[in-house]
């Protein structure tokens, strides 16, 4: 973990010309709520952080702002209500590493909270756990930065605070330091100037002390990332070799089945039915964003690239539910899905959304629900990752290598994984385990 202590060495002499900022906070499922990356762009006055994708690694940018050399570090966000164990290990490492990107250490942490965000009581524990990654009294160096895409008066902001016990608690931890940033009004540089003045006031009140970083901890983090990247590269090479060997077997005379039977299994909201439609090349299964779900196993037929294709979609379980919490009707429908395409499926596609792929509770749920089938099912199963845009600049292999639960599932499938990207409708031969499940 990053080990932070307070240091004032040259801070008093340098703080007036240099400001080092680390942006921290959760992430939102509502695309209309803009957060850390947008705030970083407003502060620096340029589009230096990519807001079109999830921030998957800590990134540092510098710019001269009001005659100051301002350094801003953007970090991966965590789900506001989830415990730290459900935050991907890679994200935790990147959050820890953020303070090493602005040596000798940050002057301030800006805790970015969209004004319209509802914060339940669970946020308290989640925030505490994630700030423990820094192993320091982060709150004493923190300003709460409220963001919105519309103007918000002081009265409106105070009204929201009065109606939110969690916001009141957060502000109390931060010494009631706060600032509002309208991230849709780039022309209003006065709001940025006032923010920098508040940061300077905080630095002064802290005795011109910034958070200094233990270099040894930084070296440990860098080594951990190098080792993880090396393991991920080896896993990628193994997968490519496995796929190459399979293609050679097919080219060597093994007859390719002219009728391919697939069964889709997975949790709700992971894109299972959408994946089926992508594979089929048409809207074969109902996908409704209004909250309706697949309640019984459905079968559909098509011809894709000259090959007959049968796909069975099955009901999903709630992604954090134990097997016991899933209804008996859903269990029966999931179990019977493999019987709808006699004599049996060539492959079972276990659909896993990358957004939840490393959540400990979600992975336990996958393991329990796969026990509805005989152990043999793993020999015919391929992990089909969806929501690949969530990866950002990271790779699937890096996430697999960083999480023991995900490794367990992938290894049970003998390293058979795939991703559906864009509008592709092809079904590559490398998704086919040998034989038919009967």
- Asked if residue 273 and residue 203 are part of one domain, the reply reads no
- On whether both 196 and 285 belong to a single domain, the answer is no
Residues 263 and 190 placed together within one structural domain of the fold? no
Number of domains within the chain:
2
Residue 332 domain flag: yes
Low-confidence ranges of the chain (pLDDT < 70): 1-16, 28-34, 246-257, 288-292, 421-438
Check whether residue 26 and residue 144 sit in a common domain: yes
What are the residues whose beta carbons fall under 8 Å from the beta carbon of 231, sequence distance 6 or more? 401
Q: How far is CA 334 from the centre of its chain?
A: 27
- Give the pLDDT of residue 433: 47
- The answer on 186 and 38 residing in a single domain is yes
At 167 the pLDDT is 96
Q: Is residue 224 part of a domain?
A: no
Q: Are residue 27 and residue 154 in the same domain, yes or no?
A: yes
pLDDT in tens, 348-398: 999 999 888 778 888 899 999 999 999 999 999 999 999 887 888 889 999
Last residue of a domain, one of 182, 214, 246: 214
Please tell me the distance from the alpha carbon of residue 26 to that of residue 102, in angstroms, as a whole number.
21
Give the Å distances, CA to CA, from 336 to 300, 313, 339, 413. Answer: 15, 11, 5, 21
Q: Residue 303 sits in a domain of what CATH number?
A: 3.40.50.300
Q: Which tokens go with 120?
A: 């339940």
Does residue 222 lie in a domain region?
no
Say if residue 76 is in the same domain as residue 184. yes
Q: Quick check: is 225 in a domain?
A: no
Q: pLDDT tens across 291-330, in order?
A: 567 889 999 999 888 889 999 999 999 988 999 999 999 9
Q: Domain range spanning residue 330?
A: 258-431
Task: Look at residue 311 and tell me if it is in a domain.
Answer: yes
Interior angle at CA 419, CA 287 and CA 322, nearest 5: 65
User: Are 2 and 214 contacting, i.e. CB atoms less than 8 angstroms apart?
Assistant: yes
Is 272 among the domain residues?
Answer: yes
Same domain, 192 and 285: no
pLDDT of residue 7: 53
**Same domain for 294 and 175:** no
Tell me the per-residue pLDDT of 223-249, one tens digit each, with 9 for 90 and over: 988 999 999 999 988 888 877 776 666
């Amino acid at each position: 973990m990053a080990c932070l202590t307070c240091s004032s060495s040259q801070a008093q002499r340098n703080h007036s010309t240099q400001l080092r900022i680390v942006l921290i906070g959760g992430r939102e499922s509502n695309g209309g709520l803009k957060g850390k990356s947008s705030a970083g762009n407003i502060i620096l006055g340029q589009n230096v952080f990519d807001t079109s994708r999830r921030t998957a690694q800590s990134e540092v940018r510098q710019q001269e702002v009001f005659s100051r050399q301002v350094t801003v570090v953007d970090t991966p966000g965590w789900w506001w209500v989830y415990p730290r164990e459900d935050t991907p290990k890679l994200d935790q490492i990147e959050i820890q590493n953020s303070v090493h990107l602005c040596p000798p250490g940050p002057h301030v942490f800006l805790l970015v909270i969209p004004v319209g965000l509802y914060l339940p009581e669970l946020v308290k524990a989640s925030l505490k756990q994630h700030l423990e990654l820094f192993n320091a009294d982060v709150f004493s160096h923190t300003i709460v930065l409220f963001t919105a895409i519309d103007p918000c008066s002081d009265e409106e902001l105070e009204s929201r605070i009065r109606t939110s016990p969690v916001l009141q608690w957060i502000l109390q931890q931060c010494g009631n330091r706060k600032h509002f940033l309208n991230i849709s009004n780039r022309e209003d540089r006065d709001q940025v100037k006032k923010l920098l003045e508040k940061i300077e006031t905080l630095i002064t009140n802290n005795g011109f002390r910034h958070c200094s970083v233990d270099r040894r901890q930084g070296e440990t983090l860098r080594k951990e990332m190098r080792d993880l990247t090396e393991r991920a590269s080896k896993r990628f090479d193994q997968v490519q070799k496995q796929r190459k060997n399979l293609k050679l077997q097919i080219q060597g005379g093994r007859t390719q089945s002219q009728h391919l039977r697939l069964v889709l299994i997975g949790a709700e909201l992971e894109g299972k039915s959408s994946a089926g439609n992508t594979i089929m090349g048409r809207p074969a299964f109902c996908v409704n964003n209004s909250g309706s779900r697949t309640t019984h196993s459905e079968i559909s037929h098509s011809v894709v690239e000259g090959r007959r294709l049968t796909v069975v979609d099955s009901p999903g379980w709630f992604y954090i539910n134990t097997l016991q919490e899933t209804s008996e009707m859903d269990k029966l429908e999931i179990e019977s899905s493999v019987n709808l395409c006699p004599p049996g499926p060539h492959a079972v596609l276990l659909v896993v959304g990358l957004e939840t792929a490393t959540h400990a509770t979600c992975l336990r749920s996958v393991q329990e629900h796969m026990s509805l089938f005989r152990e043999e099912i793993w020999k015919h199963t391929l992990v089909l990752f969806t929501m690949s845009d969530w990866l950002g600049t990271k790779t699937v292999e890096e996430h697999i290598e960083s999480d023991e639960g995900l490794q367990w599932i992938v290894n049970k499938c003998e390293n058979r994984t795939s991703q559906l990207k864009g509008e592709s409708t092809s079904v590559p031969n490398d998704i086919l385990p040998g034989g038919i499940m009967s």
